[in-house]
Chains A and B, each alone.
Chain A
Amino acid sequence: MLVEFEQIQKAQAGDDAAFNQVVAAYRKRILGTIARLIGRPEDVEDVGQEVFLRLYYSLDQLRTPEVFEPWLYRLTVNASYDYLRKQRRRSESRMSDLSEQQVMMADAVAGGKISTEDQRQKQVKELVESLLGSVSEQDRILLTLKEVEGLSLKELEKIYSVNENALKVRLFRARQRVLSAFEATKGGAKPGRRKEKKYGAMG
């Protein structure tokens, strides 16, 4: 916990200064997670504000301090998912094809031939975001939380309120799809967005 539970209790009681402290403690981490979940830096703050807005209006439902962080992550996941779904509706093609440069990047990653650090990071970002575009928004979020954010299955269980086995199956399938897209990219193909079976919302 980045804040004492007393601070959260004060915020629950309507103490705005305490709420500000809670936001200040978690803001950077949450914005970072959102940045990696949605992949659009210009909208990170907007989604972040939505997360803390939802937090403000649902704080009174929190009963125990242990669930605060998984619960905040859940709000983050839900807000990011809503954003991604809206974005998808606006532009179906956004998460579709890789540019030639990205294909070259995939080759470079595979061959270890990369020039400057900044360029490499930019290319890694573009490649990963393109690969994550080959799975559904829900799987993209789940995979990012596990593989990039490094959350454990136990933590994911708390966030999604589903059992570990269901998570494992879903993670495995999502990873396999991304892996196939990655291999296709290495082979020079462009990973398109797969038509896939719609899963029910998790959590």
Chain B
Amino acid sequence: MERWDSEKELDALFASYKSAVPDPDASANFMPELWGRIDARRSVTLRVRKLTQVFVGAAAALCLLFAMIEVVPTSTHPEVHGTYVDMLAATHPADNLTALGIAPHDPAEPTTK
């Protein structure tokens, strides 16, 4: 019963709280200050966006640069298509290799121990 009374009193207290704290009127500075905050955040957003654009641009330029470095040397040697060993064999004929002591392996030649 006592609990029930307290429930009622609490309801009444909450109800009177709304009239005890009425909706306040905004001051004359409310809107100017609000727009000041909106503009301040807008300028920060713009600055961040500008910085982001600069970083993205720089990253794109770097990517292009690295791509050029990767692509350009291979494109100046169009004959290079094989492995390193193929290239070596192609640029040094067999007699040169023999002269250097690097004889090409001939499977038909008998091996000596």
Chain A residues near B (Cβ < 8 Å): 20, 23, 27-29, 31-32, 35-36, 39, 41, 44-45, 48-50, 52-53, 56-57, 109-110, 120-122, 124-125, 127-128, 131, 147-150, 175, 178-179, 182-183, 186
Scan residues 53-75 of chain B and give those whose CB is less than 8 A from a CB of chain A.
none
Bound-state CA distance A175–B21 (Å) is 20
The stretch that binds A, out of B25-33, B86-94, B105-113, is B25-33
Scan residues 10-30 of chain B and give those whose CB is less than 8 A from a CB of chain A.
10-11, 13-14, 16-27, 30
Inter-chain contact A29/B30, CB cutoff 8 Å: no
Inter-chain contact B23/A49, CB cutoff 8 Å: no
Inter-chain contact B16/A121, CB cutoff 8 Å: yes
Chain B residues near A (Cβ < 8 Å): 2-3, 6-7, 9-11, 13-14, 16-27, 30-31, 33-34, 37-38, 41
The closest CB in chain A to the CB of B27 belongs to A45
Interface of B is mostly: helix
Inter-chain contact A32/B14, CB cutoff 8 Å: no
- If A28-B26, A110-B9, A186-B6 touch, whether A49 touches B34 (CB-CB below 8 Å) is yes
Cross-chain contact of B14 among A20, A27, A147 (Cβ < 8 A):
A147
In the complex, chain B residues whose CB is within 8 Å of the CB of A27: 26, 30
CB distance from B64 to the nearest CB of A (A): 34
- If A109-B9, A127-B13, A186-B6 touch, whether A45 touches B26 (CB-CB below 8 Å) is yes
- If A35-B24, A41-B24, A121-B19 touch, whether A182 touches B9 (CB-CB below 8 Å) is yes
CB distance from B48 to the nearest CB of A (A): 13
CB distance from A186 to the nearest CB of B (A): 7
CB distance from B57 to the nearest CB of A (A): 26
Cross-chain contact of A45 among B3, B14, B19, B30 (Cβ < 8 A):
B30
The closest CB in chain A to the CB of B5 belongs to A110
In the complex, chain A residues whose CB is within 8 Å of the CB of B27: 45
**Interface CB pairs A-B, < 8 A, 7:** A29-B23, A45-B33, A49-B37, A121-B20, A127-B13, A179-B6, A182-B10
Cross-chain contact of A182 among B6, B18, B19, B33 (Cβ < 8 A):
B6
Bound-state CA distance A12–B58 (Å) is 33
In the complex, chain B residues whose CB is within 8 Å of the CB of A29: 23
The closest CB in chain A to the CB of B6 belongs to A183
In the complex, chain A residues whose CB is within 8 Å of the CB of B2: 183
Inter-chain contact B17/A124, CB cutoff 8 Å: yes
Cross-chain contact of A57 among B20, B34, B41 (Cβ < 8 A):
B41
The closest CB in chain A to the CB of B45 belongs to A57
Bound-state CA distance A44–B30 (Å) is 11
CB distance from A127 to the nearest CB of B (A): 7
Inter-chain contact A53/B34, CB cutoff 8 Å: yes
In the complex, chain B residues whose CB is within 8 Å of the CB of A149: 18
In the complex, chain A residues whose CB is within 8 Å of the CB of B14: 128, 147-148
